[in-house]
Each structure stands twice: as C-alpha cells, then as structure tokens.
Amino acid sequence: MKKALRITVVLVAALCTVLPVAADEGMWMPQQIPDLAPRLKELGFTGDAKIWADLTGFPMNAIVSLGGCSASFISPEGLIATNHHCVQGSLQYNSTPERNLIVDGYLARTREEELSNGPGSRVWVTVSVKEVTDEITGKIDAKLTDRQRYDVIERRVKERTAACEKDGLRCRVASFFEGLRYFEIAQLEINDVRLVHAPPQGIGNYGGETDNWQWPRHTGDFSFYRAYVGKDGRPAPYSKENVPYRPKHFLKVSPKGASPGELIFVAGYPGRTQRHETYAEVKDRTEWALPQSVKRSREMIALLEETTKGQKELAIKAEPRMRGLLNGMKKNEGVLEGLLRGGILARKEAKQKDLEAWIAADPQRTKEYGPVLSELATMQAEGLKTRERDTALATISYGSTLLGTAESLYRLSLESPKKDVDRDPAFQERNWTRTKEGLERMQRTYDHRIDRPMLRYALLAAAALPEGQRIAPIDTLAGLVPGMPKDDAAKKVDTYLDTLYAGTKLAEKDFRLSLFDRSTKEILDTKDTAIQLAVALHPVMEANRERDKANDGKRSRLRPSYMRALLAQGGGLVAPDANSTLRVTFGRVMGVDPRDGMRYLPQTTLQGVVDKHTGEGEFDAPDRLLDAVKALRGGKKTPYFDEKLGDVPVDFMSDVDTTGGNSGSAVLNSQGELVGLLFDGTLETVASDFLFDTEKTRSIQVDSRYLLWVWDAVEGARNLLDEVGIK
C-alpha cells in the first residue's frame, strides 16, 4: 500500500506503531483496514485484511452508493440489494391511488417488467481514492483573508474535479480529519436504475414508527434495484435498448445468515458524524439545533397528516417526506436523550477540559494549539447571534418545493453566463443534467395542496421572529411587522399566499423546463410570483452564503490544527468523521443490556412477526406471509431454518459502528458473503454520532435468510433466487 494512502496518525511523528482501538469504534476508510489486521485477528479473522482496501477487487467493488443510502451488487447482471426505506422515492414515483406500490409492494418477474425509477436516480460505484492534500491546501499564502482562502481552496477543488471526470466518472474532492487531509474520489455514475422488487409495506416497514429505532425488530427492510447501461457497457440515460450492467464483482447471498458471536463487516456510505466537534458546538446542538429540529419535524408531520387525511393521491405524494420527517424526529429525540440523560454531553465537556489541560501543560503546545481553541470559541459564539433567523430561512427553503424550484432556476440564470470554473459548484455544468431531471421529476411529487400549508407554516415562523432577527423581504411582501398578533399575522400570510399561488406557473412541467436555459431578464419578465419571491429573498440568502464562505475559509485554517491537537493527545489509529464516503466497520453479532433489568437477545424470528400481527396499521403482515408461516409450522421444509433458534431468523443486532447513510449497507461475513443488510440502530445509543458509546452502541440488520425465505415462500420469486445462485 502506498504511503500516501495510509491514514494513520503518522501525522504525529512520535507515533510509529498501531495501537489498539477501543470496542471496535470506527467507520474506517478502506485504506485503513490493513493497519487493523492485529485487531481483526483477535476477533477471529483469518483472511487477508488488504482485500478491504482494494476498491477494484472483491468484495469492495460490489459496494455502491444510491446517494443517501448504501447498496451492493448481488448478481453478475447488476442486481442491487438495499433497504426498503431506501426505495420509497421509486415506489412513490410509480404509484397511483389505484396501484399503490408503497403499500402493496412490487415484484418484476421478467426484465421487461422492471420499473424505471424516473429521472434523477443514480448508482455510484467507487473506483479509486487518491490523496490530494498538497494540491488543495498546499502553499496557500498566509496573508490571504479567510474569504480569499476559501476561494483558493474552492477553485482548486473544482479544477481537480474537472480533471478527474471523464469516461462516465463522477468525482468528488472530500475533506477528512477536519480539513487536515483531502482525497479525490472517482465513481462510476450509472443513471438508468430500475425497481425489481420491494416487499409489501407489511413486510418492508413492519412495525412502522412504533418499532423504529427499537428492539426487538421484525422488519424485512430489503428491496432490489437493477443497474442498466448502454450496449457499449457505458452509463447511459434510460432506454429500452439498455442492458444490465455487469459489475466486475458481486456478493454471494449467504443462505446461512449470521449467528451470535460471529465477526461481521459492514461496508457502505455513512452520512455524518460529529465526534470531532468542540464541546461548545455540541452544547449548541443540544440546547438549540436538536430541540428546534424535533419541534419543527413534529409540527410538519402533524400538518402533513391533516393535509393528506382521506386523500390517497396526496398521501402518496407526501410519503417520502413524511417517512423522512418521522425517522429524523425520532432519531433526534434519541440523540437528545443520550446527550442529556445519557451523559454524552457531560463526557464531551470532560474530554474538552482534558484537551485544554493537556495543551496548557506544555509551552510549545500552548503556542501551537492554544489560539485555535480561542478562535473556534469566538466563531461559535458569533454564530449564535443569527441562529433564529437562519433556522427560519432554512425552514422556508425546505418547506416549499415551489420556492426551491424558483430559487434554483433564478440562481442558474445568474451563474450560467460565467466561466464554468467561476460558477458556484452547485450550478456548474456537471450538475445541469441532474437539475433538469429534478424539474421533470417534480411532476410526480408536487401538489399545491401540500406545498401551500408547508410554506404557510414556514412563513408564520418567520412572522414570529423577534426584532433584529427579521427577514425583511418576507415582512415587505406579506405586510408583517414585529410583535404582530398571531391571528393578524396568519391573515396577512394567507392573503399573500393567495396571490403567490394564483400568480405562478411553476407547477406546470413545460413552463418549468422552458425556464431552464433562460437568461435572468427572460426569467424576470415572466413576472411569475414564485420567481419574484425567490428574487426578493436572494440578497438575504446570498449574504448568508458569503458569510458562510468566510467562515469556511477560517475553519480551513483552524480545524486542521484542532485535529492535530486531538490526534497528538489521543494517539493510536483514528477514523475520520463520516462524510458520505465509502467506509468499512466491523464487529460481532451480539445483544446488549440497554438499561438496568433489561436484556436484548441478538436475534428475532418469524414467531415475533406473528406475535405482533394485529391485522391493522403498522402490524398488518400480508396474508401470504402468515400462510407461509403456517406451512412452515405444518412441516414444510426450508433451507433457511435455524435449528438453534427453532425458526427462520428475521433481524439481528451487532456492535458495529454505523450512522445515517449506512442504510442498505452490505453486512458481510469473513468470506465476503452477504449475510444481511443494515437498516437501523437503537434509540438508546444514537448519540454515539457525537461520542461513541463503547458498551451499548448497537446496529440492526435484516438477516439474509429472511429475505431469501420471503423470496421463496412468500413471493415465489424463483427468478431472483435463480439469479443469485440459490438452488
């Protein structure tokens, strides 16, 4: 392995050996896994740890990203395994009130029956990772302002990205270790993705929000896509002439699943963790950001429920957003619980004090690291001054699809005349196809009956802002003033929304698409009211973006030094925070004692599905599944039966280190066989995103035997069993 790819703490010159890691913490970069060979050997791994670092070999070449979820190839014909909750967009896109795939599920028994996911769907296969730290942050003039420093780094990133993208590759230059290291990641981008199988909601989302983040689980959280390419084997837009993608490597689906005590590996794309944040940053999240997020999600969920009640078409359109809000709210509630009552915040404060004492104990360390902590604290305090307004602005942008579309079109018109390297990264030419696909796909998700109540909610939140935090364009357009009574503000907002939705044509697909390549003048000349709102808000949004760029430039100076201090103090082999790049974690199948007097066993079975079945709501298992269980109980043989359990296993727990984005991750045994799919964690330990709980952190996986049994005994999916080599 090349020295440049060994992400160990050789950054600290005094360290030259690999030290043990605590309780298998770590979402490791694949390149780091060979350095963990001694620990893997302790856990019983007898293979070559270098296989996890080879992104073009088995098994890592089979691991893919869906953008927000993880997945893996499981056949030579491009069949992809992921979670049921990761295909909600596809189910929603292909559903109608008469054929609701979200509830009923879908199974294609032939290639011709496989359903397009619609514009915007992607599969990314990571093919290479190259360190480019010197190219991104090397030789930057120390005299530059923070804003100028940001511009230098951004331009270098864009130039590296452009040089990398060729032959169907999508590239990204990502920051690791708080900007201490940068890596260029090249991925094959496949843009014809089709739905093959999603079980009914009574399997794929069994237990719903009642069981979400809980144990025991009995959820069959699995679904399957297929990747297609042109006849030349290269990525191509959807076409009936396309052929299944043939990956270099794919995973064998194990009919033996995973057993208690067994070593497993999880490979996927975890989203974000914040373990290297300062205590002040975590404290602000605890006191402000997380409570606000929970409150906002709860209110939006109630609003969506009220809006869609009794209306199947609206419920289908709102389903992906509803699922996302429910999942995020419950997780954030668990994080808050862990930070406060679970003691994570107090432990974080203690670690910060230890760091400060360690720095103060040595004059050289004080000189090198002392100012960094002070400047970071100042930045944090400065951000508190506008957090109410910033939260309200974010809610407005998130709340309305219509406004988001208007903002995107207006900004695209401003950026298009520039040279590509000078454009905002989101509006560079490499993203134009995806922007246009979003305009097309909006037709299946947008409805003013959903959009208006959500935007109304956001505007009322803006109306309640205190003096000094006001959003001036909103006040002007809606006629709001600080301190206005709620009822009066609601009337003003409703009057404004009447005008807004009566004067916009952005809900019309042809009109939206016609604005895609228009000049700014032509867009303004439409006098579309949604565009006018976006234009009015643009100076405020742009001022925030400029502020954030200056802050990012400052962070690019401070955070690497802060990270060096953490590494120098702690020593050992350290995983960088998750950042949606390919990672590997490992652990064992095992239960846990979550609190006094309670013990979680590591596996659940079909009997638990039957025991929970009520025939209503979240616990309504399909009749064909219940019939298959009866047949099994009546003596029908199945190769997926576990003699020790006396039943077919459904889900299992493990002590692997994962987070959001790992949904759909391949769970592998020591031979690289697929033994399950990761889909959740436990509510007691979600605060490990901020500080890893070495004793109680657990992840939840669906056992490969359950998905194979469903294919076999419930769905009769002989075509899929044959494809993955199950006889």
Q: What is the chain's mean pLDDT, rounded?
A: 93
- Contact indicator for 61, 247 with CB cutoff of 8 Å: yes
Residues facing 636 on adjacent strands: none
- Contact indicator for 273, 659 with CB cutoff of 8 Å: yes
Helices (H) and strands (E) in the chain, counts: 25, 18
Structure tokens at 177: 């270790």
CA distance 350 to 489: 45
**135: buried, middle or exposed (CB in 10 Å: 19+, 13-18, 0-12)?**
middle
**359: buried, middle or exposed (CB in 10 Å: 19+, 13-18, 0-12)?**
buried
Mean pLDDT of the region 416-436 = 96
- Contact indicator for 687, 344 with CB cutoff of 8 Å: yes
Mean pLDDT of the region 157-168 = 93
pLDDT at 19 over 70: no
Structure tokens at 15: 């360290």
pLDDT at 10 over 50: no
Q: What is the pLDDT of residue 107?
A: 98
Closest CA to 698 of 260, 286, 74, 346: 260
Mean pLDDT of the region 548-565 = 96
Asked if 663 is an active-site residue, the reply is yes
Tell me the pLDDT band of 685, cut-offs 50, 70 and 90: confident
Q: What is the pLDDT of residue 571?
A: 81
- Contact indicator for 674, 667 with CB cutoff of 8 Å: yes
Q: What is the pLDDT of residue 283?
A: 94
HSE, CB side, 13 Å, CA atoms: give it for residue 720: 28
pLDDT at 56 over 80: yes
Cis bond before residue 59 (omega within 30° of 0): yes
Q: What is the pLDDT of residue 1?
A: 36
Tell me the pLDDT band of 335, cut-offs 50, 70 and 90: very high
CA distance 699 to 217: 11
List, for residues 571-607, the tens digit of each pLDDT value: 878 899 999 999 999 999 999 998 889 999 999 999 9
Residue with the two structure tokens 């039943």 = 647
Tell me the pLDDT band of 3, cut-offs 50, 70 and 90: very low
Give the distance, in angstroms, between the CA of residue 177 and the centroid of all CA atoms in the same chain. Answer: 19
Asked if 519 is an active-site residue, the reply is no
Q: What is the C-alpha R_g of the chain?
A: 26
One-character DSSP codes across 211-258: HTT-SS------EEEEEEE-TTSS-----TT-EE---S--PPBPSS--
Q: What is the pLDDT of residue 694?
A: 87
pLDDT at 74 over 70: yes
pLDDT at 22 over 50: no
Catalytic residue among 72, 75, 84, 85: 85
Q: What is the 3-state secondary structure (H, E, C) of 369-434?
A: HHHHHHHHHHHHHHHHHHHHHHHHHHHHHHHCHHHHHHHHHHHHHHHCCCCHHHCCHHHCHHHHHH
pLDDT at 5 over 90: no
Q: What is the pLDDT of residue 570?
A: 83
Q: What is the pLDDT of residue 446?
A: 94
Buried b (16+ CB within 10 A) or exposed e, 450-480: bbbbbbbbbbbbbbbbeeebbbebbbebbeb
- Contact indicator for 621, 204 with CB cutoff of 8 Å: no
Asked if 620 is an active-site residue, the reply is no
Least confident of 5-14, 28-37, 43-52, 355-364: 5-14
- Contact indicator for 564, 180 with CB cutoff of 8 Å: yes
Most distant pair of Cα atoms in the chain: their distance: 79
CA distance 203 to 208: 10
pLDDT at 15 over 90: no
- Contact indicator for 176, 128 with CB cutoff of 8 Å: no
CA distance 107 to 91: 12
List, for residues 477-516, the tens digit of each pLDDT value: 999 999 999 999 999 999 999 999 999 999 999 999 999 9
Percentage of the residues of the chain whose pLDDT score is greater than 90: 91
Catalytic residue among 24, 35, 221, 577: 221
Catalytic residue among 254, 663, 665, 704: 663
List, for residues 641-684, the tens digit of each pLDDT value: 999 999 999 999 999 999 999 999 999 999 999 999 999 999 98
Q: Which of 390-399, 520-529, 686-695 has the highest mean pLDDT?
A: 520-529
- Contact indicator for 153, 137 with CB cutoff of 8 Å: yes
Contacts of 10 (CB under 8 A, 6+ apart): 16
**46: buried, middle or exposed (CB in 10 Å: 19+, 13-18, 0-12)?**
exposed
The DSSP call for residue 658 is -
Percentage of the residues of the chain whose pLDDT score is greater than 70: 97
pLDDT at 17 over 50: no
